[in-house]
Every structure is written in structure tokens, then in C-alpha cells.
Structure 1
Amino acid sequence: MPHIIPFAGRLYSGSVKQNLLWRDSDVFLMDNHRAALWCWQQKVDLYAQPHSLMHIDRHYDALRVGVHTKKMPDLRILSAVDYLADVLAAPSGQLPRFRWDNYLSIYLRQFQKQLRTLRLITHKDGDRPRFKPQFESAPDELPENIDFWLEGGPWIVNVDLDYFFCADTSGSWIQMVSDTYIDQTFRGVRKAMDNGSVAVVTVCLTPDGYTPGGRNASG
């Protein structure tokens, strides 16, 4: 079954609601990026296997974390349902551990010893990840260089479609790069996958707030 969790529909997602988690071989599609860390573990042993990560996203997704990494569940034996349901104790009550804005920080805190290279292609929104060596590339470098950057895997490629959009004067979200730019970017990812240097790709639709909505983002 390609749907890892039951598809809830094109509903509001926010920071913790997961409506879509779908898989086709090494590619995982979701509405909310909070499930990405679980998906990576399905194809890369984050606990023992050296690897690299490319993060293509409007945001860094690296909100500072503290208690979120205490008593972490073992992702090697955790189902997707249990991962999404995992909570931690806070003064205000139980809170979801994994969010769309902190999963990368949790990953870096827990698995940085296995991470060889972190390459960021972002709009520089949010807290910058605390990890070295990291490389931050400009948008105009992406289509031409992506297959070169993805040499020497295994790589995790993490893509949020909000990277390709910006707001117009009315506050609506519009595609800020050409179809050719997007096509060449994903052709580079496909080439690296075919070469065996990419272990897993996670793609987030971000239907709330930074793209034109779930129907357009997934269309």
C-alpha cells in the first residue's frame, strides 16, 4: 500500500497534523514535513550509517530544541503511527515531539555523528542549523549543480515545495521560478537516484500558507 497512514484528505495541516504520508519505493510524499525523520530511517540507518543531507526548503526547519530529545523513541522499531503520536511532557501538558519546524533540529542533535555533509538551499527563514560542515547554496546554483553536489552518497534529499514559491502584493502565493528550473532540479535528483548516490527523497507539499494550497501543490 503506497499510503503509509490513511489519507485524511486535503485538510488543514499546520505544524503537527499529518493528513498525507505516501511512499513509492525510495520517495516519500507528505503534506507536513514532520514525518521526514521517520522516513529517512526507513532507507538509511541513522544510528550507524554515515550519510549526507541536502535540504531544499524555504525554511531551515531547525527550531531550537531541548526536552524534545529526552527519552527519544528508537526510530528503528517505531511505526509511522507511533512516531506521529509520540509526545513529551511539558509544564503545559503533553506536546507532540515531532513538528514541521523542529524535526531537523532533533535529527541533528541525535544523529550528527553519522552526518558527513549538510547542504542547505533555503530562503534563510528561521533558526539556522547548528552543524559543521554545512554549505549554503544560492538559488541560481541549484539546477546546474544538483547532480554534482549529490555525488558520493548515500544522500538524503529533503524537499519542501514552498521553496519554489513567494508572496505577491495581494498576499497570494505564486510560483517564483520557471517550470524549467523545477524540472531541471528534479531531473538532477533523478539522475543521482539512478546512480545510486541518493538513498531517500522526502517531498513536502506545504498546503498551508506558503504554497497555493493542497490541490494546486499536488496537482
Structure 2
Amino acid sequence: MNFLFNNGKFYIMDNHLAAAWCWLQKIDTSKRYGLFHIDRHYDLLNNLTDDFIAENRSELINKDFFFYLSLKDNMNNQAIRYDNYIDAFNKLHPNLLQQIYYATHKDGTDQNGTSLEHINTYEPNLWELDTNINYWLTECHKDIDQWIVNIDLDFFFTGEDGECSQFITRKYIKNICKEIKNSLPKIDVVTIAISPEFCNGWGNAFNILRVITTELDIYMPYKYKRYKKHSFLF
């Protein structure tokens, strides 16, 4: 993690490693939740066993973020990562997630074979995503108490091997923000990952982030600047 910032319901980070910890700061675990995941990748690696989750439950639900980050797996590697946090969260809180929307590029492992495979899911098409989020979150699932929205800016880019280019227009991104903003009473937390390595650099990622923070009225104190081939946040 390079940075993690919170403003109200919104958390902004450089990758989704911190997402599940952020969710736990805002949700009520006695309620029924839906997860709306907008990300190039599914982020559904299930490499942490049920036994590991049970043995380390107190660390995984700890309010101290640095304590959460310090947790190691059985190979002494970072336990919670940017690609396994959703499955780990669901194992920690079974039956909390009742509905999941996966708006992805279908990159990576999907829900089959994970703890989430029996949860109701829908995978929105690109053509319907920017006009239906408010309907899905506020009208379509009356049995869901509140929602978690999880966004990775790499969703708006395509390409491989560091040569990524934006293929989603700003108008489309603004439409998504409008849908989310209109749904905020039903949303407890929004986590936004910048993922510069999948956006062809920090500059491109921050260009999209500025659109999102403006549209959603998020106070973002950091600015990006590139100087002599080095990237700076200040």
C-alpha cells in the first residue's frame, strides 16, 4: 500500500488490498448486504483456507490497519492481497453478502470454486452498466439492507504488459458516478482503487480519479505531479 484516504463513505487507495478492512469500518455486520464490484478483475482468489481464516479472525477484524497489514500466511507472505480480499471477507462473515454484481473484463478467477459461488450474482454488460446502477441498488433487491460499492479504475482501461489505454469515455464515467450518487442512501461504503499499473501510469489514473471525486463530491487532498520521470503525490 502506498496510500489510503477516507472521506465520509469513500475510501481511496492505490490498490484493493485495504478494501475489506475499509468495509468493516462502515458496515453493520447484522445487516444483509449486496456487493457491486466494478473492476477489470474479479479479485476472487481463494488461497486462504477456512482454518487460516478462523485461526486469524481477531487479526482480520482488527481496527488497527497496520495490524491487519502485518498478517502473514503460512508461507510468511502478505495474507490479505489485492486479489483475495473478497473471498476472505466472505469467509469471515458468511451470509452477510446476499447479492453480488460483477462488472468486470472477466479477468482472473471467477466465483466458481470459492466461498461466494452460491451467492446470487449478475454480470452487467457494458451497455447497461451506466444507466441501471441506481435501479439495481434501490429498486431491484428489496431484501438487501445496504450496499458495498467497490471500484477499480483499471475497469476503464484495456491492454496488456503495461501498455494500457482508456477505452471508456468521460461521459460514461460521469454517468456511473451519477448513478452511484443517486444511490448513496443505500450505500454504506465505496472503495476506490487507483491501480496505476493497469492504467498506464499514475497520471492517467489520477485523470479519471479527478472526474470521479468531482462528480461524487469527494474531498481528495492529494494531487499528482510528474517531475523528471518521477511520480509525486503532494
When normalised by structure 2's length, the TM-score is 0.77
Q: Secondary structure at the match of 2:94?
A: helix
State the match for 1:30 in structure 2.
Answer: 13
Matched, 1:88 2:73: yes
- Equivalent position to 2:28, from 22, 34, 45: 45
User: Is there any run of 5+ residues in structure 2 with no aligned partner, and where?
Assistant: 112-116, 208-234
State the match for 2:150 in structure 1.
Answer: 158
Distance 1:143 1:115 in 2: 23
Cα RMSD for the two superposed structures: 1.8
Q: Measure how far apart 1:171 and its partner are.
A: 5.9
Distance 2:69 2:203 in 1: 23
Q: Measure how far apart 1:76 and its partner are.
A: 4.5
Check whether the contact 1:118–1:131 (CA below 8 A) recurs between aligned residues. Answer: no
Check whether the contact 1:157–1:198 (CA below 8 A) recurs between aligned residues. Answer: yes
Q: Secondary structure at the match of 1:98?
A: coil
Q: Secondary structure at the match of 1:156?
A: strand
User: Is there any run of 5+ residues in structure 1 with no aligned partner, and where?
Assistant: 1-17
Distance 1:109 1:65 in 2: 12
Distance 1:171 1:118 in 2: 29
Q: Secondary structure at the match of 1:96?
A: coil
Q: Measure how far apart 1:215 and its partner are.
A: 2.8
Distance 1:88 1:73 in 2: 13
- Equivalent position to 2:171, from 157, 177, 180: 180
Distance 2:31 2:73 in 1: 27
Q: Secondary structure at the match of 1:100?
A: coil
State the match for 1:73 in structure 2.
Answer: 57
State the match for 1:216 in structure 2.
Answer: 204
Distance 2:84 2:48 in 1: 10
Q: Measure how far apart 1:103 and its partner are.
A: 0.5
Q: Secondary structure at the match of 1:126?
A: coil
Matched, 1:198 2:210: no
Counterpart residue type for residue 200 of structure 2: P
Check whether the contact 2:35–2:149 (CA below 8 A) recurs between aligned residues. Answer: yes
State the match for 1:128 in structure 2.
Answer: 110
Counterpart residue type for residue 118 of structure 2: F
Q: Secondary structure at the match of 1:87?
A: coil
Check whether the contact 2:16–2:82 (CA below 8 A) recurs between aligned residues. Answer: yes
When normalised by structure 1's length, the TM-score is 0.82
Q: Secondary structure at the match of 2:173?
A: helix
Counterpart residue type for residue 186 of structure 2: S
Identity of aligned residues (%): 32
Q: Measure how far apart 1:218 and its partner are.
A: 1.8
Matched, 1:20 2:21: no
Check whether the contact 2:90–2:96 (CA below 8 A) recurs between aligned residues. Answer: no
Q: CA offsets, 1:9-52, max 9 Å, x none?
A: xxxxxxxxx00100000000000101000000011033x32111
Distance 2:176 2:123 in 1: 16
